[in-house]
């Protein structure tokens, strides 16, 4: 009888232990899984050493690991997952398209890439957090400053905290960092030689990007611009280009005409030089920023609606241009005060050109090496001037109907 009681007691204990273990496991299974995150080494150029890119990525990992919001993939694991050639190439990866590619290879839901570059005594820090599944940039941080590399790494930490939505706690004196001012409705940058560049504040918001009219515009999808930014009121003029770059490559000459015959690489160089002059983070707009600003709240084909009959009031294009570009600002602006978003010259965007996430269009690998062009030009048909129209060309391409406009961070 005693032996039977001992056996029964053992069964009860084992049953209770199994029940407790099952309950604990069920409770663990019910907890939401943290998204997997990879942080690539930063791209560096100019006077910045490669170790600066590795140290920057290390600081970002530290901040995101401390937040306890992500399942972080360590650097050695990333090296194991990627082939040697791909790992070496990943160091230069800081565009959305490239980050999505490596995020997919690594099997993560989120990925961060960044860059540290220098021009003269000014350094530029850019950090992007990208959702691999949607192929969209969630948040971005950009800052220009003058100072030592230690100051640059402090700014990287600040950028990581901003991406996390954590208030920065890094002390900075006026010599190292520009003062942060409340966002104004307009921003005027000094290009030099008395030439100014005016930008308009674009509010944060959500819009439907793309359309069902062309395969490369599908599928339409909801995109959120998470924070306001400044966009140039006009496309960059020859007067502004000359003041910053010291030359004028345009085929059609005129101070107030859009600068033309500039490559994507040229436009990036202009943004870097203007950033160095003004200590503002000036860059090309992302494709999403461009379409959002072009639409200015409109859901139609154009910023003003769907009618081609009204297009001539807003744009210079094949039917009314007379065979060349026109001085900026002669047509009606959109609802946010931006001129020539349709026509006059095509406008470069920062992004690589490729199909949208979820698109059934056939993938063209060569297209991923291209950069996005938007807006149409003075030789285009109306269909190429639509807000959703996308085009792409090699970043070194120079054509007489391609120009650009720039954006700046709203601090």
User: What does the DSSP assignment read for 304-373?
Assistant: TBS-GGGGGGT-B-TTTS-SS---TT-S---TTS---SSBSSEEEEEEEP-PPTT--SPP-GGGGGSEEE
Is 176 part of any domain?
A: no
- Give the relative orientation of helices 149-164 and 50-67 as an angle to the nearest 10 degrees: 30
194 and 131 assigned to the same domain: no
Is 29 part of any domain?
A: no
Distance (Å, rounded) from C-alpha 79 to C-alpha 276?
35
205 and 309 assigned to the same domain: yes
**How much is the pLDDT for 174?**
36
**How much is the pLDDT for 119?**
61
What pTM was estimated for this model as a whole?
0.68
pLDDT tens digit string along 303-333?
A: 999 999 999 999 999 999 999 999 999 999 9
According to DSSP H, which parts of 113-186 are helical?
Answer: 149-164
**Which residues does residue 117 pair with via DSSP β-bridges, in sequence order?**
124
72 and 220 assigned to the same domain: no
**How much is the pLDDT for 409?**
87
Tokens of 74: 């360590």
148 and 210 assigned to the same domain: no
From residue 326, give the alpha-carbon distance in Å to each of 315, 333, 391.
10, 15, 22
Number of domain units in the chain: 2
194 and 153 assigned to the same domain: no
Is 217 part of any domain?
A: yes
Is 373 part of any domain?
A: yes
**How much is the pLDDT for 162?**
87
154 and 193 assigned to the same domain: no
Is 4 part of any domain?
A: no
157 and 273 assigned to the same domain: no
242 and 376 assigned to the same domain: yes
196 and 344 assigned to the same domain: yes
211 and 348 assigned to the same domain: yes
CATH number at residue 226: 3.90.1580.10
Give yes or no for a cis peptide into 92 (omega within 30° of 0): no
Is 19 part of any domain?
A: no
Mean pLDDT by 10 residues, the chain (411 residues): 45 41 45 87 79 90 92 88 74 81 91 81 81 86 75 88 67 40 82 97 94 93 89 98 97 97 96 92 93 96 96 97 97 97 97 74 56 97 97 94 95 68
131 and 215 assigned to the same domain: no
**How much is the pLDDT for 45?**
75
What is the SS3 assignment for 110?
Answer: strand
Is 9 part of any domain?
A: no
How big is the CA angle at 79 (ends 73 and 80), to the nearest 5 degrees? 90
CATH number at residue 74: 3.40.50.10070
Tokens of 25: 């496991």
* Stretch (H or E) spanning 71: strand 71-72
3-state SS record for 205-240? EEEEECCCCCHHHCCCEEEEECCCEEEECCCCEHHH
Is 5 part of any domain?
A: no
Distance (Å, rounded) from C-alpha 185 to C-alpha 199?
9
**Which domain range does residue 285 map to?**
186-409
372 and 248 assigned to the same domain: yes
């Amino acid at each position: 009888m005693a032996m039977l009681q001992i056996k029964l007691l053992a069964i009860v204990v084992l049953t209770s232990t199994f029940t407790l273990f099952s309950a604990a496991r069920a409770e663990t299974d019910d907890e939401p899984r943290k998204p997997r995150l990879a942080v690539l080494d930063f791209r560096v150029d100019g006077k910045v050493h490669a170790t600066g890119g590795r140290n920057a990525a290390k600081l970002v990992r530290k901040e995101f690991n401390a937040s306890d919001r992500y399942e972080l993939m360590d650097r050695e694991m990333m090296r194991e997952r990627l082939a040697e050639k791909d790992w070496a190439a990943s160091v230069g990866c800081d565009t959305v398209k490239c980050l999505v590619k490596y995020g997919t290879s690594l099997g993560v839901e989120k990925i961060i890439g960044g860059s540290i570059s220098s021009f003269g005594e000014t350094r530029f820090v850019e950090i992007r957090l990208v959702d691999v599944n949607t192929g969209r940039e969630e948040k971005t941080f950009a800052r220009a400053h003058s100072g030592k590399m230690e100051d640059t790494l402090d700014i990287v930490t600040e950028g990581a905290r901003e991406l996390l939505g954590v208030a920065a706690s890094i002390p900075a004196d006026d010599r190292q960092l520009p003062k942060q001012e409340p966002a104004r409705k307009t921003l005027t940058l000094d290009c030099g030689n008395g030439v100014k560049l005016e930008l308009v504040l674009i509010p944060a918001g959500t819009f439907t990007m793309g359309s069902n009219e062309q395969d490369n515009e599908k599928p339409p999808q909801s995109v959120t611009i998470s924070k306001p930014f400044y966009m140039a009121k006009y496309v960059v003029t020859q007067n502004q280009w000359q003041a910053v770059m010291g030359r004028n490559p345009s085929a059609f000459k005129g101070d107030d005409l859009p600068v033309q015959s500039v490559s994507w690489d040229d436009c990036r160089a202009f943004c870097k030089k203007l950033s160095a002059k003004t200590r503002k983070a000036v860059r090309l707009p992302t494709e999403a920023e461009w379409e959002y600003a072009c639409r200015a709240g409109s859901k139609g084909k154009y910023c003003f609606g769907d009618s081609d009959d009204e297009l001539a009031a807003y744009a210079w294009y094949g039917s009314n241009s007379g065979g060349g570009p026109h001085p900026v600002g002669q047509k009606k602006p959109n609802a946010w005060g931006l001129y020539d978003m349709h026509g006059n010259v095509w406008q470069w965007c920062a992004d690589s050109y490729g199909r949208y996430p979820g698109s059934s269009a056939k993938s063209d690998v060569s297209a991923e090496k291209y950069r996005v062009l938007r807006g149409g030009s003075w030789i285009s048909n109306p269909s190429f001037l639509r807000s959703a129209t996308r085009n792409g060309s090699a970043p070194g391409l120079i054509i007489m109907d391609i120009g650009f406009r720039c954006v700046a961070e709203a601090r």
